[in-house]
Amino acid sequence: MSKVAIVTGAGRGIGQTVSRRLANEGWSVAAADLDAKAAALTSKQMADEGGVGHAIEVDIANAQSCDGMVAAAIAQFGRVDALVNCAGISKPGDSLTYSKEDWERMIAVQLNGAFFAAQAVARQLVQQGTGGALVFISSTNAEAAFPRRAAYCAAKAGVAMLTKVLAVEWAAHRIRVNAVGPAYVETEMTVRNIAAGNVSREAIERRIPLGRLAQPGDVADAVSFLLSDRASFITGHSLYVDGGWLAYGYL
């Protein structure tokens, strides 16, 4: 019987790539997204590639919706073994004028949602008594401060600490909790930010020692490793897939 992973934010970008990678590796994947049509497309892609997928609509900022996501996965597959939380949003803005509504939405999705999704899956893992693995998609912004990104950076720093706390707290249940923190990844969201002038592709590539943006597949590689038995003694860790971004401090 194949293991079952829930992937949030599965409709596009990193989440879509992670879903397809896991399906190709033999996982049954519950592709969860706020955009039900996008989740269904990812599920179809997995099936077309010979994998097993099932689309679920979820708003991870809503705890009850996360509970429903897990219930839907159980109804379809009978068990859950892993969560990969890829859901996220981006809305840069000047901290002097950043609205209360934008701040609250960013924290609701990036931080609250990470906790609600993890909590819902962990409760199921404890009930099953099987142990499991959770992976949050974090960011180099958990460590590196960017202007106009106060809400995003604060949320991702919260996810990095959440990773450590949950890893310690849930170790007794054999639940491992880790994070993968990419630098800029060439996704639709990044391309939109480049087009809007929020960031410069040339400047990013100059700043990254390996000289390129990360690809979604680079992140999927790290996620696959952290979910696997090869990482059975790794928990509470943030793995930065950043091309050397955080290491580089020379001007």
Contact 134, 83 (CB under 8 A): yes
CATH number at residue 105: 3.40.50.720
pLDDT in single tens digits along all 251 residues of the chain = 799 999 999 999 999 999 999 999 999 999 999 999 999 999 999 999 999 999 999 999 999 999 999 999 999 999 999 999 999 998 999 999 999 999 999 999 999 999 999 999 999 999 999 999 999 999 999 999 999 999 999 999 999 999 999 999 999 999 999 999 999 999 888 888 889 888 899 999 999 999 999 999 999 999 999 999 999 999 999 999 999 999 998 87
Please, what is the angle between helix 100-107 and helix 150-170, to 10°?
A: 30
Give the DSSP per-residue string, 96-150.
Answer: TT--HHHHHHHHIIIIIHHHHHHHHHHHHHHHHT--EEEEEE--GGGTS--TT-H
- Specify if 153 maps to a domain: yes
- Specify if 222 maps to a domain: yes
Instruction: Count Cα atoms within 13 angstroms, Cβ side, for 46.
Output: 32
Q: Where are the beta strands (DSSP E) in 9-108?
A: 28-33, 52-57, 82-85
Domain count, the chain: 1
- Nearest-angstrom CA–CA distance, 146 and 160: 16
Greatest pairwise CA separation for the chain in angstroms: 54
Give the tokens for residue 18: 């992670």
pLDDT for position 175: 98
pLDDT for position 191: 87
Domain residues for 96? Answer: 4-241
- Specify if 250 maps to a domain: no
pLDDT for position 189: 80
Contact 68, 42 (CB under 8 A): no
- Specify if 248 maps to a domain: no
- Specify if 230 maps to a domain: yes
- CA distances for 59 relative to 36, 42, 55, 117, 140, angstroms: 10, 17, 13, 10, 24
pLDDT for position 162: 98
- Specify if 246 maps to a domain: no
- Specify if 53 maps to a domain: yes
For the chain, first and last CA: distance in Å?
52
- Nearest-angstrom CA–CA distance, 149 and 184: 14
pLDDT for position 187: 87
- Specify if 129 maps to a domain: yes
152 among known catalytic residues: yes
* Active-site choice (152, 240, 248, 250): 152
